[in-house]
């Protein structure tokens, strides 16, 4: 039997197409990394090589378009999902200023240049200038990888991107309607109504549905991921109905789910993994496939148009970044990150140029010039962004060097299979993200005749704990102790491992209070100076609405004050929740000044609370969907309040349906 094989170009077989694309995604970044070329550039250049304008191995068919479209939506969705929502709200005015500058400067200069220098009609000039105003966050994966997405310069650039792209695409809709003779009052009213409907559904209805889903399908990782993708594509589809680009819908979907998907969570890890491994590379390859390098050898007129487009696109975006820097006092590095992120043109640019070409407002010279601009800006943007992002990352690492000097090791005693996931999630959320220390799940087995049997049972629990932590790429090291009693095993583990923090659970029932806290907790508090967190969280922590913190008087005088405040900042940053501090009247001014001095500033509401003697009154401050953090204290410390001796009994009686965490700060013994 003789097997024959023939290969025609471009490749039509879907299996071979997919295999080739995966081969490119695997090898292109690896090869170019040797000469220090960013992986994003490698994928774009690989797309140039395999496209119909290169070696002709692949063509942009329906499958490539679909995966590339998903990749673009993924970039915008991640931008909305990873942004610090509180910083985004706090810097909304700055985002609006940058959005206005990065839209108006390219639009005005571009219109004048195209109309007077290139001699285009006004309508064509205006449409081409709107293309200059848009930009695609093609280098966003770089800032995400380097961990600087929460930097203010990145935040306002992302916010400004949505403003300028939305404005440019709305202008596209108006020009398109005008060219077709449909620009009238009914069209404008329909557009306004669809925008209102779209925004309401995505930003108000979808979060409510998502909260319910995550509360009830908390342990189904695949279902949560599919649900998240459904929200993204439903938002993108609604955006199209509202006459705006799907990328805007994907970004708003990220904002809608922002507070429900912590950065250090299994779901976020799945979202980032799939996007960075498949969909985003597909989009970058597709960008390269549309590039025709032969335009460099075209006519003089084509070169003139291409040079004008490229020059105006770069100069106007740089001016917007420079003026933004001057207004808000940003550093040169922050200006470069704004310019790097905001200078690449791809998605919205393609939409505008293709529609303009179909309406015969542009000729082939504009099409070719635009494609050259896409190639050059995407490659240059990647180099500029990576260089600036590395400097920002180094600067931020230097700023937190003192925090890293403190050895942070978190111990999580596990006993109840029903709550081990919640305890691990809490430990992961409060862990220093830059620390390489593992989290230590601990099981203590009493040294009796059942010890061997209990060890085997606990091994099953550890297997689940390892799998759960692995989904967040968190390093854990399981510990087993055989001891005469539970408290002795925990204390020995704390000493052996130099533990700094203990995260443990409590079912909150009064019937177990005397046994659990009168024995284990009392021993821990009396024999260690560690930071101890006692948790009773009844629902997935990411679905909670806000964080309420009750702080005793003189808490700032304790040695562990800075550490528990850092933990709260990490927790609130991961969950992107609103924070309310309840403090003693004498401490209000201190906390206000302290939060203003934080870098970045801690955006929290401050209220007065002095009812430790009647702590049950605090029950009215907390709803069932809130997380209550109670900063308690050990006896004979400066922040210890008389009412703390009955705190646990009050919680077990009045807070049975509430989510709370008690913090016993670190003390100097």
In three-state form (DSSP H/G/I as H, E/B as E, the rest C), the secondary structure along 416-485 is CCCCHHHHHHHHHHHCCCCCCCCEEEEEEEECCCCHHHHHHHHHHHHHHHHHHHHCCCCCECCEEEEECC
Sheet with 410-413, edge to edge strand ranges: 479-483, 439-446, 410-413, 501-505, 531-536, 659-664, 627-631, 546-550, 578-583, 604-608
pLDDT tens per residue across span 98-146: 999 999 999 999 999 988 888 888 888 888 888 888 888 888 888 888 8
What tokens does 101 get?
Answer: 């500058």
Second CATH level (architecture) for the domain 537-669: 3-Layer(aba) Sandwich (3.40)
Q: Which CATH number fits domain 404-536: 3.40.50.620, 3.40.50.2000, 3.20.20.10, 3.40.50.300?
A: 3.40.50.620
Q: Output the CA torsion 2→3→9→11 (10° steps).
A: 170
Rounded distance between C-alpha atoms, residue 171 and residue 193, angstroms = 17
The closest alpha carbon to 165, from 145, 138, 144, belongs to 138
Strands 501-505 and 578-583: unpaired
Task: State the number of CA atoms in the 13 A half-sphere of 565 facing the CB.
Answer: 18
The H or E element spanning position 223 is: helix 221-241
Count the neighbouring beta carbons within 10 Å of the beta carbon of residue 470: 13
Task: Work out the pLDDT band at 242, boundaries 50, 70, 90.
Answer: confident
Paired with 608 in beta bridges are 583
Rounded distance between C-alpha atoms, residue 553 and residue 551, angstroms = 7
Rounded distance between C-alpha atoms, residue 18 and residue 24, angstroms = 10
Task: Work out the pLDDT band at 513, boundaries 50, 70, 90.
Answer: very low
Does 199 or 450 have the greater pLDDT score? 199
Rounded distance between C-alpha atoms, residue 280 and residue 43, angstroms = 10
What does the pLDDT average to over 233-245? 86
- Give the model's pLDDT for residue 522: 75
pLDDT tens per residue across span 606-660: 999 888 888 888 888 899 899 999 999 888 888 888 888 888 888 888 888 899 9
Does 449 or 608 have the greater pLDDT score? 608
Whether pLDDT at 398 is above 80: no
What tokens does 31 get?
Answer: 């090869």
What tokens does 566 get?
Answer: 């850092």
For the chain, give every domain's residue range: 14-399, 404-536, 537-669
Rounded distance between C-alpha atoms, residue 24 and residue 283, angstroms = 13
- Give the model's pLDDT for residue 517: 47
- Give the model's pLDDT for residue 111: 92
Paired with 413 in beta bridges are 442
Indicate the burial class of 271 (C-beta count within 10 angstroms; 0-12, 13-18, 19 or more): buried
- Give the model's pLDDT for residue 669: 53
Does 296 or 616 have the greater pLDDT score? 616
Average pLDDT, the chain: 82
Whether pLDDT at 470 is above 70: no
3-class SS at 369? Answer: helix
Q: How far is CA 465 from CA 422, 455, 541, in A?
A: 11, 15, 17
Is residue 202 a contact partner of residue 256, using CB atoms and an 8 Å limit?
Answer: yes
Widest distance between CA atoms in the chain = 93
pLDDT tens per residue across span 560-602: 899 999 888 888 888 878 889 999 988 999 988 888 777 666 7
Rounded distance between C-alpha atoms, residue 284 and residue 146, angstroms = 19
3-class SS at 576? Answer: coil
Q: Do the domains 404-536 and 14-399 match in fold?
A: no
> What does the chain come to in residues?
669
Whether pLDDT at 314 is above 60: yes
Does 149 or 629 have the greater pLDDT score? 629
Paired with 628 in beta bridges are 548, 660
Query: Whole-prediction pTM value?
Result: 0.73
- Give the model's pLDDT for residue 545: 86
Rounded percentage of the chain residues whose pLDDT exceeds 70: 87
Does 357 or 157 have the greater pLDDT score? 157
Rounded distance between C-alpha atoms, residue 612 and residue 234, angstroms = 48
Backbone angles phi, psi at 55, to 5 degrees: -85, -5
Backbone angles phi, psi at 534, to 5 degrees: -110, 120
30-39, 198-207, 500-509, 597-606 — which one is most confidently predicted on average? 198-207
pLDDT tens per residue across span 325-340: 999 999 999 999 999 9
Count the neighbouring beta carbons within 10 Å of the beta carbon of residue 262: 23
Task: Work out the pLDDT band at 1, boundaries 50, 70, 90.
Answer: very low
The closest alpha carbon to 126, from 144, 110, 140, belongs to 110
pLDDT tens per residue across span 46-89: 888 888 888 888 888 888 888 888 888 888 788 788 777 777 77
Whether pLDDT at 243 is above 80: no
pLDDT tens per residue across span 425-434: 888 888 887 7
Instruction: Please give the CATH number for the structural domain made up of 14-399.
Output: 1.20.1530.20
Strands 604-608 and 439-446: unpaired
In three-state form (DSSP H/G/I as H, E/B as E, the rest C), the secondary structure along 121-157 is CHHHHHHHHHHHHCCCCCCHHHHHHCCCCCCHHHHHH
Whether pLDDT at 514 is above 60: no
Whether pLDDT at 443 is above 60: yes
Task: Work out the pLDDT band at 516, boundaries 50, 70, 90.
Answer: very low
480 alpha carbon, distance to own chain's centre: 35
What does the pLDDT average to over 259-283? 85
Strands 659-664 and 531-536: antiparallel
Q: How far is CA 396 from CA 38, 331, 604, 620, in A?
A: 22, 14, 22, 40
Whether pLDDT at 484 is above 90: no
The label of the residue with tokens 């049972």 reads: 457
CA angle 593, 595, 601 (to 5 degrees): 125
What tokens does 583 get?
Answer: 């403090």
Q: How far is CA 489 from CA 478, 481, 492, in A?
A: 14, 6, 5
* Cis peptide preceding 403, ω within 30 of 0: no
Task: Work out the pLDDT band at 461, boundaries 50, 70, 90.
Answer: low
What tokens does 299 get?
Answer: 């006519």
Task: Work out the pLDDT band at 454, boundaries 50, 70, 90.
Answer: low
- Give the model's pLDDT for residue 334: 92
Is residue 550 a contact partner of residue 660, using CB atoms and an 8 Å limit?
Answer: no
């Amino acid at each position: 039997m003789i097997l024959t094989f023939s290969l025609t170009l471009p490749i039509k077989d879907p299996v071979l197409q997919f295999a080739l694309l995966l081969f490119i995604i695997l090898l292109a970044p690896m090869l170019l990394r040797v000469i220090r070329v960013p992986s994003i550039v490698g994928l774009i250049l690989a797309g140039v090589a395999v496209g119909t304008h290169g070696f002709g191995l692949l063509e942009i068919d329906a499958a490539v378009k679909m995966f590339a479209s998903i990749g673009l939506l993924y970039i915008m969705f991640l931008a909305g999902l990873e942004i610090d929502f509180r910083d985004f709200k706090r810097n909304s005015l700055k985002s609006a200023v940058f959005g206005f500058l990065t839209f108006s400067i390219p639009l005005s200069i571009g219109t004048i240049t195209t109309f007077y220098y290139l001699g285009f009609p006004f309508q064509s000039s205006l449409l081409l200038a709107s293309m200059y105003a848009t930009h695609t966050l093609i280098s966003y994966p770089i800032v995400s990888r380097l961990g600087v997405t929460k930097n203010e310069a990145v935040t306002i650039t992302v916010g400004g991107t949505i403003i300028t792209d939305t404005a440019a695409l709305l202008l596209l809709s108006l020009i398109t309607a005008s060219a077709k003779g449909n620009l009238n009052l009914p069209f404008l009213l329909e557009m306004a109504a669809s925008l209102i409907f779209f925004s309401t559904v995505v930003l108000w209805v979808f979060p409510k549905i998502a909260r319910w889903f995550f509360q009830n399908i908390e342990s189904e990782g695949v279902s949560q991921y599919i649900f998240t993708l459904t929200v993204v594509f439903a938002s993108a589809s609604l955006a199209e109905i509202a006459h705006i680009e799907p990328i805007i819908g994907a970004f708003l979907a990220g904002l809608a789910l922002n507070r429900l998907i912590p950065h250090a969570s299994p779901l976020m890890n799945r979202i980032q993994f799939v996007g960075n491994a498949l969909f985003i590379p597909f989009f970058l390859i597709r960008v390269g496939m549309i590039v025709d390098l032969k335009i460099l050898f075209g006519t003089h007129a084509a070169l003139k148009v291409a040079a004008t487009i490229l020059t105006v696109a770069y100069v106007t975006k740089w001016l917007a970044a420079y003026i933004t820097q001057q207004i808000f006092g940003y550093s040169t590095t922050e200006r470069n990150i704004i310019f790097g992120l905001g200078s690449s043109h791809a998605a919205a640019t393609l939409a505008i140029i293709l529609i303009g070409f179909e309406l015969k407002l542009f000729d082939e010279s504009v099409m070719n010039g635009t494609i050259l601009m896409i190639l050059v800006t995407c490659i240059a943007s990647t180099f500029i962004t990576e260089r600036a992002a590395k400097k920002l990352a180094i600067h931020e690492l230097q700023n937190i060097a003192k925090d890293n000097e403190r050895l942070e090791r978190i111990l999580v005693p596990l006993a109840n299979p029903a709550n081990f996931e919640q305890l691990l999630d809490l430990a992961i959320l409060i862990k220093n993200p830059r620390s390489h220390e593992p989290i230590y799940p601990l099981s203590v087995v009493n040294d009796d005749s059942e010890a061997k049997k209990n060890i085997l049972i606990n091994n099953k629990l550890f297997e689940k704990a390892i799998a759960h932590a692995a989904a967040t790429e968190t390093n854990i090291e399981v510990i087993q102790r055989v001891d005469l009693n539970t408290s002795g095993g925990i204390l020995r583990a704390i000493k052996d491992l130099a533990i700094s923090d203990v995260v443990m659970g409590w079912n909150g029932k009064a019937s177990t209070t005397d046994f659990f806290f009168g024995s284990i907790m009392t021993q821990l508090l009396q024999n260690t100076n560690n930071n101890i967190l006692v948790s009773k969280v009844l629902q997935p922590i990411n679905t909670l609405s806000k964080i309420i913190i009750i702080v005793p008087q003189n808490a700032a005088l304790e040695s562990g004050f800075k550490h528990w405040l850092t933990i709260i900042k990490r927790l609130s940053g991961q969950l992107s929740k609103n924070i309310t501090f309840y403090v003693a009247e004498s401490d209000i001014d201190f906390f206000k000044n302290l939060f203003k001095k934080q870098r970045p500033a801690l955006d929290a509401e401050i209220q007065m609370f002095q009812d430790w003697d009647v702590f049950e009154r605090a029950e009215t401050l907390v709803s069932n969907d809130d997380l209550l953090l109670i900063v308690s204290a050990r006896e004979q410390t400066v922040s210890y309040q008389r009412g703390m001796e009955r705190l646990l009994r009050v919680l077990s009686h009045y807070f049975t349906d509430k989510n709370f965490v008690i913090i016993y700060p670190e003390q100097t013994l």
